[in-house]
Amino acid sequence: MTASVATATNIDRPVPANRSSLEDYRTLWAWMLVPMVLMQAGIFLDYWGDFRDNDWSIHVHYWTATLWYLYLILQPYWATHGRMDLHRTNGILGMFLAGGVGITSLSMLGRDLRLVRLATENPERFGPFTPEFFYGVAAVELPMVLIFCLAVVMAILRRKSLEDHAWWLVSTVFVIMMPAVGRGMQALYLIAQADRWPNVDGVTPIILGQVFVVALTLAAAWKYGKLKHPATWWALGINVYAGFAWEIGQVGWVQRLLDTLIHVS
């Protein structure tokens, strides 16, 4: 009789869907603090060092990107700590935020092309950062934004699959880390080689930054068993590609295409 009652009770009690999967992601929110801190540390001098001189578009982009990183900390926390209702509500609002990150990132491409012109007119001011370098940055950031948007769309389409939904969103962190980490590495190298200006090494910090982001992406994918997930490969692909920014910026047809697509006055 006791066994019958227990069996009936177990049948009647609803079992939360994907309980084991949710448990696997219970500490994801804490791990998401790592890229958040790295992004803020990388961009700190570039953004806060000349805060008052930054264009309005830079401020909007910085804060939307910062909020996106914060969003990817809060969402897994709510989902794995009994606040799935709040997770779903903020998921809808988060798509609005993701659109803001994508649009403001695209707007920053105009800044890259303006730097091309300034570096051409005043090369001694920019030292090793030639017009080709800024063309390369734009050529990297454009597909980077498109891949970010792709990952968000895939997360929406795969929202009924916890594993896919979560990892497509997590991958966006690694897709858009390059600008912040790259600037942070460059700042450290410029400080260390200040006495050699303008003959400083501008290539090594880019390479080191990309190696670091690729390693971090692989470490996260390994931890959550997502080394073979398509989101991981997209994130790895764009970061390997970004390591060749200097070479890409020297290609004539790439420069002409960017000049055509991104007209600056």
How far is the C-alpha of 162 from the C-alpha of 170, rounded, in Å?
12
pLDDT of 170 reads 94
E strand or H helix that includes residue 29: helix 28-31
The answer to whether the Cα torsion of 254, 260, 263, 265 is positive or negative is positive
- pLDDT at residue number 142: 95
pTM of the predicted protein model: 0.86
Indicate whether 226 pLDDT > 50.
yes
Q: How confident is the model at residue 183 (pLDDT cuts 50, 70, 90)?
A: confident
Q: Look at residue 18 and tell me whether its pLDDT is greater than 60.
A: no
CA pair distance 111, 131, nearest whole angstrom: 12
Question: Rg for the chain (alpha carbons), in Å?
Answer: 22
CA 116 to mean position of chain CA atoms: 24
pLDDT at 20 over 60: no
Compare 171 and 123 and report the one with higher pLDDT: 171
For the chain, what is the mean pLDDT? 86
Q: What's the confidence (pLDDT) of residue 1?
A: 39
- Asked if pLDDT for residue 11 goes beyond 50, the answer is no
